[in-house]
Structure 1
Amino acid sequence: MSGSFARRSMLIAALCVYADLSIFGILWYVGSFGGPGSQLGLVVPDAAVGVLLIAGIVVVDVAVALPMRHAGKVALCHALFGLVTVPIVPTWQAYRLIAPAGLAISHYQAGAWLRGGQAALVFWALFAAESVRIMITVARIPWGWVTLGPVLVAYVVLPWLVGRFTTARRAHLAALEAEAALQGHNEQLAVQRAVADERSAVARDLHDVISHHVSAIRIHAGAARLSLDGDEAGHARRSLSDVESASRSAMVDLRRMLDVLHGRGAADAQRQPGLGNLDELLDGVRAAGVPVRLTVRGTPRDLAGSRDIALYRIAQETLTNAMRYRAGGPVDVVLDYRADRVRLVVTNDVDPAARRERGRRHRGLIGVRERVALFGGDITYGPAQEGTSWQIRVDLPLDRQ
């Protein structure tokens, strides 16, 4: 039991003692004094019995402060104490003039805290005890039996039901609070997952952008160096111009990624590239000295923005790998629009010296697999044509979001 709850229980018990002793003392004095209104007082046989009754009132009222696991026992003690007072105080008013506050509180606590079979047993025990007490008492007055039902409702049923309904309402509010807390926790987790997914997507995009453009810059720089060695100034100027163009494209893509991180990507007119920018991507690869052949099959169609961007990034990553590991032959890109899916196939020959490295765990391929899995697609990749070439095939369904 917490300290604050214990203090509240002690305060309630103290108030019960104060109220019940005050009522008993006043009515005992009125019954002993006689005169007008004395019929409303309590007639106690002698002072010793009165002191015992006072002690009993204090004991049963103080018991109200006990831990709530004893609520049923405390209520039964009040009921038994009431039965004991009936033969001791012969006046009919004794029925509910001795410890009324403590009895009402104890019945309330029993209704609020007891559950199951114990609750039913205690309720019917209290009901029976109060019924016996009422019948003994009302037998002393004409037509007293008519008070049986109302008095039972007032002193047994109502306190019990108020306690039960109060607890049910408290449990309902606690359940609502728990549900709200759980919902808030789930929303927080959803936000965290969304942030993590967005960061992962941005990381994949940054990897694709940097890998592609840096690879192109490396190839152009190498070509420029070889041209300078061979005193081919015109070719060197073209290669350096392509280096400048690739660098500029990399900076544009990096700024776009940073805008997304800063929350300005949605309103930015410069959207993420898609398949509509595939020709520009291939032109950049061709400018690096890599021959690329594009074949489009089926009827081109507009794709959802996220799927369109994913296919572009996949093509960008596969072309970057082709520039790194090809043996010198052309790169074949096939974009196949089917009824239920879009297939992207990229094939390039492989430099024998690069085959071993190509088979290792590659971050770019991990990013491609993550993009494909995001849309429920399929991906296959590996050596083709007896190991002389490398092929990656990606299928993204059109009917899944």
Structure 2
Amino acid sequence: MLRRGVLKPLDVAVAAGFAAFALTEEFVVRMPGDWWPYALTVFTALVLLRRVIPLVALAASSVSASAVLYDEPPINYRLWQLVAMIIASYTAGRLLRWGGARRDLVRAAVSAGLVLVTALVYWAYDRTDPMAAFFFSFAPYALGVAMALQTERLAETAAVRASIREQQAREAIMEERVRIARELHDMVAHSVTVMTIQAGVVRRRLEGGLPVDPQLLRTVESSGRDAVGELRRTLGLLRGEGTDTAQAPVGLERLDELIAQVREAGLTVSVRRTGEPAPLPPAADLSAYRIVQEALTNVLKHAGPARVEVTLDHRADGLHLAVVNDGPPAAPGATAGGQGLIGMRERVTLFGGELTAGPRKEGGFAVRAHLPGGRPPAAGSGDAAAVTRVTGEAGATGVPS
């Protein structure tokens, strides 16, 4: 990009080419007059410094190439004088901008005036070729202005693209932070909730002089280890570490472990699986596990020792899951949507699914979600082909949905 300022190698090359052209013209054509060595030295310097003093170079070259310095037509001046004016005119059009400060506007107006006066003088002294009079002065100037405008447009386009890339990078970082925050909330909040409830049970039994089941303490320890492991995994993601140090992602294959944890925390949970299980994409599998986990954590927090039924219904249109409890009615505003419900909705929305969460008329709370992407319906499949399994602790009671 052509800019005013320090001399560059291109300036030296242009000045040297101009001097070589002028010397060739002088020795080949042998124009009359002995003043040309001094003039050529001056104009070679002006060509060299054209970006430093563009207005001075344009004024000097315009006067030198002007017809007022010569006899009646045909005008008898050197061709290199015209070339010097062309170079200066292009440089002025390229550098002297019409926008910006008042001083820049004045300089641009003066340069345009010089070009116009030069064209008019040419035309006034030699009316035989008016096109040449205006072409040699205005064409280089107009070309310089056009190049400057094109450069500005390209710069603006590059700036817009850079801004878009920067915005996309910020959005990607924000999405990653939200994902990590959701992972922290889903896993760590669940483990800490289980630890808190079980530690409270141990404290109350100790205060009452009752024996403490060692399994409760082992479960507290296990939940703590899970929380610490998840924190390490998430911090590794924040530090940009590879997946070698990260734990394997959880999914519905670990649902039984999750159910065992909440049972030890005091919930009575039954699990009902319907349909033929079909492999889910890893992200959908993880989201299904997190939704069940968050729903059970909310039961522990708000419903107390309630009975819960977890339903996994594999259908042709995807996985339908529900977590229903028969706890006490929710407090006013409890269903407004905390971080847990927001996270569940985000996970379901990511896959184009649906989620409903709210109190039940019979009492308690229900969370139902649909994650699309299940297996395609098999030929001849129907309700008779559905497989239903109910698992749970002895005496566990399912809650009607």
**Displacement of 1:357:** 6.3
Distance of aligned partners of 1:284 and 1:166 in 2 relative to their CA distance in 1, 3 Å threshold: same
Distance of aligned partners of 1:245 and 1:316 in 2 relative to their CA distance in 1, 3 Å threshold: same
Alignment of 1:327-346 (within 5 A): 327-346=304-323
Alignment of 1:1-400 (within 5 A): 7-17=53-63, 19-20=64-65, 67-69=107-109, 75-85=115-125, 95=126, 133-134=127-128, 152=131, 154-157=132-135, 160-235=138-213, 237-352=214-329, 355-356=331-332, 358-384=334-360, 386-398=361-373
**Displacement of 1:75:** 4.9
Cα distance in structure 1, aligned partners of 2:62 and 2:308: 94
Structure with the greater alpha carbon radius of gyration: 1
Cα distance in structure 2, aligned partners of 1:232 and 1:363: 37
The amino acid across from 1:296 in the alignment is: R
Cα distance in structure 2, aligned partners of 1:158 and 1:81: 12
Instruction: Decide which moves more: 375-384 or 168-177.
Output: 168-177
Distance of aligned partners of 1:357 and 1:387 in 2 relative to their CA distance in 1, 3 Å threshold: farther
Cα distance in structure 2, aligned partners of 1:378 and 1:170: 55
Cα distance in structure 1, aligned partners of 2:194 and 2:245: 27
Alpha-carbon contact 2:118-2:137 (below 8 Å) kept: no
Distance of aligned partners of 1:377 and 1:213 in 2 relative to their CA distance in 1, 3 Å threshold: same
Cα distance in structure 1, aligned partners of 2:136 and 2:334: 82
Alpha-carbon contact 2:270-2:310 (below 8 Å) kept: yes
- Which residue pairs with 2:8 in the alignment? none
Gaps of 5+ in 1: 32-38, 43-60, 86-94, 96-132, 135-147
**Displacement of 1:355:** 3.2
Q: TM-score, normalised by structure 1?
A: 0.65
Cα distance in structure 2, aligned partners of 1:383 and 1:269: 38
**Displacement of 1:161:** 4.5
Distance of aligned partners of 1:75 and 1:290 in 2 relative to their CA distance in 1, 3 Å threshold: same
Distance of aligned partners of 1:343 and 1:159 in 2 relative to their CA distance in 1, 3 Å threshold: farther
Alpha-carbon contact 1:327-1:349 (below 8 Å) kept: no
**Displacement of 1:317:** 0.7
Greater relative contact order (CA < 8 Å, ≥ 6 in sequence): 2
The amino acid across from 1:190 in the alignment is: Q
Distance of aligned partners of 1:41 and 1:194 in 2 relative to their CA distance in 1, 3 Å threshold: closer
- Write the deviation string for residues 192-246 of structure 1: whole angstroms up to 9, x where unpaired: 11111111111111122232112111221122223334544352x2211211111
SS in 2 for 1:296: strand
Percent sequence identity is 32
Which one has a larger percent helix, Structure 1 or Structure 2?
Answer: 1
The amino acid across from 2:188 in the alignment is: I
The amino acid across from 2:290 in the alignment is: R
Cα distance in structure 1, aligned partners of 2:276 and 2:241: 34
Alpha-carbon contact 1:256-1:265 (below 8 Å) kept: no
- Write the deviation string for residues 78-130 of structure 1: whole angstroms up to 9, x where unpaired: 44434544xxxxxxxxx4xxxxxxxxxxxxxxxxxxxxxxxxxxxxxxxxxxx
Aligned pair count reads: 302
- Write the deviation string for residues 36-90 of structure 1: whole angstroms up to 9, x where unpaired: xxx9969xxxxxxxxxxxxxxxxxx9x99964457776555444434544xxxxx
SS in 1 for 2:305: coil
**Displacement of 1:320:** 0.2
